[in-house]
Structure 1
Amino acid sequence: MTDSTSQTTTPRFEVAVVGAGAVGLAAALASARAGIPTALIGRHAPLADGRTVALLDGSVRFLGALDAWDEIAPKASPLCQLQIIDDTGSLFRPPPARFRCGEIGLEAFGWNVESAHLVAALRQRARAEPGLTLFESDSAGAEAGADASRVSLADGRTVEARLVVAADGGRSPLRAASGIPVREWDYPQAAVTTILAHTRPHDDISTEFHTRSGPFTLVPMTGGFRSSLVWVASREEAERLSGLDDGALAAAVERQARGMLGAMRIDGPRGLVPMRGLLASRPAANRLVLVGEAGHVFPPIGAQGLNLGLRDAAALRDLLVRARRDGRDPGGRGLLDAFARGRRLDAAARTAAVDALNRSLLTALLPLDLARGIGLLAMTHLGPLRRIVMREGVLPRFGAPELMRAQASRPAA
């Protein structure tokens, strides 16, 4: 439902989601579809920077439950296999490790789709959702009261809600204003992102080269002969690569990929993304919860970032449904504490794992190379361990939100 500009009184909702990216849109849709009067505050401004997102199986189930997957599926490519190649030059270099989705009973680990298309599809669904009111304006801050928060909009309007959901990104103004402590850090890296066309088929295999400057990842896209690139390198090297013309950059990618996908050409916009990390000490404050990058930021390794944010949204929906069923305040201390308990552990565990892997690539210390290599060898040769790692990478076994466990639509073959 689109917003109305002829308001004479301050509209009041149970939930107000601030931030119109993928996580904010999903959180607002999930809340509204549960019968909870919900507002979504934020402008629709997707960036064309060549970024794609690998939506893991649980996230696809969630999007299916929101009736958004049918619009996304035609432009999504299945990720049926993952291979990791050690290209660090270490003295201890394990052979390539390959993981197959069928081994854990999945049609695909997930599906890769352009970020801009994902956001546009969710926005289209949000506009058609009864019970969801869109305010297409930036937030100018929120002030928590005894029984509700008042959100000020940049266009002069105000909205009241019993719970405010901060989905306003890694530099979240709402988080900063709440006083929630955060731990922030920078990496000496940046990521070059773009879309590639190539002469050999990718066969639905996502390939991640581990290099001394970070991961170099090629992720399948639709059609069989296109892939998205995330090339993490030192800041200086990433800036140099970003400044190359299309032909020179394509040649550099082809060399780094060892020619495995044949001749390359640039087939989409580019982006240059600084690598940083952030973790909120607690993803909740007075009548406020943090979802997505408002609560956690880490490098694009293992497709964990957006999927973790979507789990935030799905887990919040479960708590809101229970609060509504029990007649409890959706912004009360009980829900805030439950959300903080459940999401802090998931975010901390994923952040620690991604941080440890990334830092291990940046050092040439033999013990770290040895540990990383032994880990890959163990997952290659020990079936039970490999299956545990694959399942946990796709969706945590314990505490998975309800809508991530439900059956969802799949892309047509």
Structure 2
Amino acid sequence: MLFFFLSLYALAHIPNQSYIFLRIYETEGIEGRFEINTREINKVFGTNFKDGVQLEDIEPYMEDIKAYLVKNTSFSSELGHHKIVLHDVDIFAFNLGDFVQVFFHLENTKKLPQNLSVYYNAVFEKDDTHRGYLVTEYNWRDGVINEEANITLDFSPDKLTDTMDLTKSSIWNGFYAMIKQGVWHIWIGLDHILFLLALILPSVVRRRNNDIFGWEPVKNFRSAFIYIVKVVTFFTIAHTITLTLASLQIINLPSRLVESIIAFSIGLAAFHNIKPIFKLKDWNIAFIFGLFHGFGFASVLGDLGLTNEFLTLSLLGFNIGVEIGQLFIIALIFPVLYIIRKLKIYPKFLVYMSVLLIIISLYWFVERVFDTDFVADEYIKRQLYQFAVWLGVK
């Protein structure tokens, strides 16, 4: 029931709205894309596109669509007119209709203007209820990192021109945004969370004998706390090293391999709780597999569309965010484990939870090795995302 009601909060593109998404780079200029629903294209060109349209269906009308968008859109600033240079075309399939995406960049923006004036007059002549929106999807200095809901300008039949101010920005906005990205991605990185859980389950107990249920509670808080500090510290050092190396393009590993090892690391750490398979301490295990988790974080930075601009601050901010996020998670879990450690059921809880982690690990491992998505996994990820949006985390 909870997931059903949360689905009502899902963000969506609205059919009778069209969009301009801009990505503003400090040294590379401004690039972006148009997104217009096929239903709106039907209004303008008299076509009859249905839901589920393919790129080849659009192909005969491609040049007309491009010409129409360029004719009805313009960008200018104190630097002069900025010509729209069109690139590839794609289809964004959505449950409220398919959107045609036309990618472009603006000439004469290597030096960013202070104010960018935008003229937009698409579809209004066919539908006066239509609305256009300009979305700043990426602007590091403004603290905007891959945000598709950050509406900057709006257009209507009575408002065809609007201006965006590019002077209200600071490197601290970008730094703070990267901290938030780090927190966000550790919170939605369920595999990273479950790996940490596998490592901290035994933090409040110590092995008494070789029996899988042969655990006894630690006698004091200090012992358990030092264990946690070591695990988190070694995990942090490891993923910081590989995150930096990967972001600087010094070492790159295939994403599929990295994600498969991350999934496998959860099960291996959990199995070690049941039957020790390493002579290493748990914090050494955290370090070894933390190296691969760092490569996983690096792929996230790649997905954010970061370039070499402010890369040092981006890495620092993202790392700080990851640490804040994982400390928050541990702060929620660890006290509970410490309180229940003396219960006779805790050894069984530790083992059964480890078994569950092994099952989840194998499930993800098979998915990632064979590059497939099972229905259950996709559903859970979608609902977790919507739950985070509803909470206001994203």
TM-score normalised over the length of structure 1: 0.27
Structure showing the higher helix proportion among its residues: 2
Task: Please say which structure displays the higher CA radius of gyration.
Answer: 2
Relative contact order: is structure 1 or structure 2 higher (C-alpha 8 Å, sep ≥ 6)? 1
TM-score normalised over the length of structure 2: 0.28
Structure showing the higher strand proportion among its residues: 1
